[in-house]
A and B are shown apart, each in its own frame.
Chain A
Amino acid sequence: MTEDRFDSFLASALAPEPRQPDRAFVARVQARIALDEQMAAERRRSLAHFAGQLLALGAVAAAIACLGRAAPVASFFAAAPGVLVLLLAFLFLVVLLSPRPRAASFTMLNVS
């Protein structure tokens, strides 16, 4: 085979096959994009929820700190420091057990 003939043979062998657009592939891409968008929305919701919780926790902690500075409360905590620890543990439990946004389910992850 001459050099030119080989070059044109190679070019035709490497060219994409002529065919109609693959609608099934297009649908798969669309499904994956939909899933991707859903996951991104879940992530945003989770982040907003976490930020809200953090803010609420900060506000409660600040309120306790303010209250703790008041003379009668300060002397109470000085007399029974265990109460302060219990109060903080209770707050931690409230944060831990408060409802969270629903996470993406496994069946959703399997859409493809």
Chain B
Amino acid sequence: MTAGNEEDLALSRRAAAGDGAAFAMLVEKHERALRAFLTRMAGAELADDIAQEAFVKAWRAAGQYDGRARYSTWLTRIAWRCRLDELRKATPRSAEAREAADSNRSAEVNDILARLDDKERAALVLCDGHGWTHAEAAELLGMPLGTLKSVIARAKAKCRRMWSGETSD
């Protein structure tokens, strides 16, 4: 079991037994990071819908969490699948929602991130912004560790190029 995971495992076990208060504590603890990640990936409006969907699925599957990975990793894996489902049924509304959300965020960083592809953005946000290990991110994104490392290096190089291009204008 990952160190520091005991509390989440205990809460998840209580949730699996139908304890809504225990699950609310898990939501309270993990919503900030999950919604921040999803906002980077899908925009603020969609992020909340996907996060809610992910938490509902996590509640239904609470009994399956075994504490081997961090709870946040397990939860983000569920949310990532929800996000892929969302992409499959993407409508023009999704694009509009994203543009609207983008206008409220730090423009430069978001402009740069928007020019990365989905997996580059996810890998960069998780490993550089959220402190995930490369192995955790590689598992989530379904790619070999070496590939993930080069995806991150490539994404960073792209960001650096775009940043220097933008700031030198």
Question: 8 Å CB contacts to B: which residues of A16-52?
Answer: 16-17, 19, 21-23, 25-26, 28-30, 32-33, 36
Task: Give the size range of B's interface with the partner.
Answer: 20 to 34
Chain A neighbourhood of B167, CB < 8 A = 1
The contact of B35 among A11, A13, A25, by CB within 8 Å, is: A25
B159 and A10 contacting across the interface, CB-CB below 8 Å = yes
Chain B neighbourhood of A111, CB < 8 A = none
B59-103 interface code vs A (CB 8 A; 1 in, 0 out): 110000000000000000000000000000000000000000000
Selecting from B2-10, B48-56, B138-146, the interface stretch reads B48-56
Q: Closest approach, in angstroms, between the C-beta of B152 and any C-beta of chain A?
A: 11
Q: By DSSP majority rule, is chain B's interface helix, strand, loop, or mixed?
A: helix
Task: Give the size range of A's interface with the partner.
Answer: 20 to 34
Interface residues in chain B, defined as those with a beta carbon under 8 Å from any beta carbon in chain A: 20, 23-24, 27-29, 31-33, 35-37, 40, 48, 51-52, 55-56, 59-60, 106, 109, 124-125, 128-130, 156, 159-160, 163-164, 167
Interface residues in chain A, defined as those with a beta carbon under 8 Å from any beta carbon in chain B: 1, 3, 6-7, 10-11, 13-17, 19, 21-23, 25-26, 28-30, 32-33, 36
CB-CB nearest 6 A-B residue pairs:
A14-B129, A16-B36, A21-B28, A13-B109, A29-B55, A15-B129
Question: What are 8 of the A-B contact pairs (CB < 8 Å)?
Answer: A6-B159, A11-B128, A14-B109, A16-B32, A28-B52, A29-B24, A33-B20, A36-B56
